[in-house]
Amino acid sequence: MILSDKTLKRLISSGELTIEPTGDNSIQPASIDCRLGTHFLVIEDKSMDCLTLDTEIKYRDFESDTITIPAHSFLLASTHEYIKLPNFLTAFVEGRSSIGRMGLFIQNAGWVDPGFEGYLTLELYNANSLPIKLQSGRRICQLVFCEMDQESKSPYQGKYQKQNKTVGSRIFLDDEIVRTK
């Protein structure tokens, strides 16, 4: 079940759900808007010839109140808000329609697990033929919350737990390689 603004306000007020800070116009009828933070990562493509799943990716990180994303370019950013989900809620990250209509695709793999705590890392892709300039503090994405049928037995404790800034891919830490003949 998708949670309403009334339920979201109650959960925040009771401390069961943390989204800090929450802006005056952040809570929507069925979601909470998150704003763009000031920390960014760009892949250091000059130092690598290929990205692989088993090698750490090199990023250039920087802080800024504005960012211009060139046409057909990708970067990572973080939310301004710190998120902490209880073990009975999950959230979907969706781009805001007004921003999508500019050609900016926003994602974070689309899912926030129960028990996650930290700033969200967002994947931003400019699909437009023109650069897009963004300002920190502007609403950029929305979280849609769903209540689970029961509390999670094993809440999230993964490699992105308690991230305090934008974090690049840590896929190289996965150990599920399956050998084929």
Say how far apart CA 36 and CA 23 lie, in whole Å. Answer: 12
Looking at 69-142, list the stretches that DSSP marks H as alpha helix, in order from N- to C-terminal side: 97-100
Q: For the chain, what is the total number of helices (H) and then of strands (E)?
A: 2, 12
Catalytic residue among 123, 147, 151, 176: 123
DSSP designation for 2: B
Q: From 75, 83, 71, 67, select the one nearest 136 (Cα to Cα).
A: 67
CA distances for 125 relative to 97, 146, 152, angstroms: 15, 26, 32
- Note if 147 is an active site residue: no
Contacts of 51 (CB under 8 A, 6+ apart): 43, 57
List residues with catalytic annotation.
123
